[in-house]
């Protein structure tokens, strides 16, 4: 079988597990995310546990990756090499945080939430895709 098919199946399986985890943890509900961000009101700490679990899994995954010569379905690992904190990183992080706080979604849960069928989810994903396309077509070409 072609290596691209293995990559596709592995990516699809990872996405399904990720989406299922978000669903089980309740993170497809933007009200729960906003509740986590409302630290001076009715704070909901459940997202902290989900984030903590993600940090543990990522920590283990990175240590396993460091011991491997190459990934299972590719020739090399695609790890970012830029470790510099610069203006675009700070501005992009701030925009991400603002979008997350206002919409109650970040990209992964937003796409997974499309299965619920709420109109605001579709609006958020469309706006996210427009923003990504705009960045790709306009700002990323400036560098």
DSSP, collapsed to helix, strand or coil, labels residue 32 as helix
> Residue 100 has what pLDDT?
82
Convert the pLDDT of each residue in 36-87 to its tens digit. 888 898 899 988 998 899 999 999 999 999 999 998 888 888 888 888 999 8
Query: What pLDDT shows up at residue 143?
Result: 56
Claim: this prediction has a pTM higher than 0.75: no
CA distance 71 to 44: 38
Contact 122, 114 (CB under 8 A): yes
**Structure confidence at residue 136 (pLDDT):** 85
Instruction: Give the pLDDT of residue 139.
Output: 73
Over range 113-122, report the average pLDDT: 85
Burial of residue 44 (number of CB atoms within 10 Å: 0-12, 13-18, 19+): middle
Which residues have CB under 8 Å from 28's CB, separation 6+? Answer: 22, 109, 112, 113, 116
142 against 40, higher pLDDT: 40
């Amino acid at each position: 079988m072609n290596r691209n098919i293995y990559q596709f199946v592995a990516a699809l399986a990872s996405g399904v597990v990720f989406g299922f985890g978000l669903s089980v943890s309740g993170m497809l509900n933007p009200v729960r995310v906003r509740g986590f961000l409302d630290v001076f009101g009715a704070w909901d700490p459940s997202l902290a546990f989900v984030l903590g679990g993600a940090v543990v899994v990522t920590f283990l995954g990175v240590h396993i990756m460091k011991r491997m010569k190459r990934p299972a379905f590719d020739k090399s690992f695609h790890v970012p090499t830029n470790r510099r904190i610069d203006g675009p990183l700070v501005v992009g992080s701030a925009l991400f945080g603002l979008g997350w706080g206002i919409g109650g979604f970040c990209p992964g849960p937003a796409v997974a939430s499309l299965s619920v069928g709420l109109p605001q989810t579709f609006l958020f994903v469309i706006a996210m895709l427009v923003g990504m396309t705009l960045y790709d077509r306009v700002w990323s070409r400036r560098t």
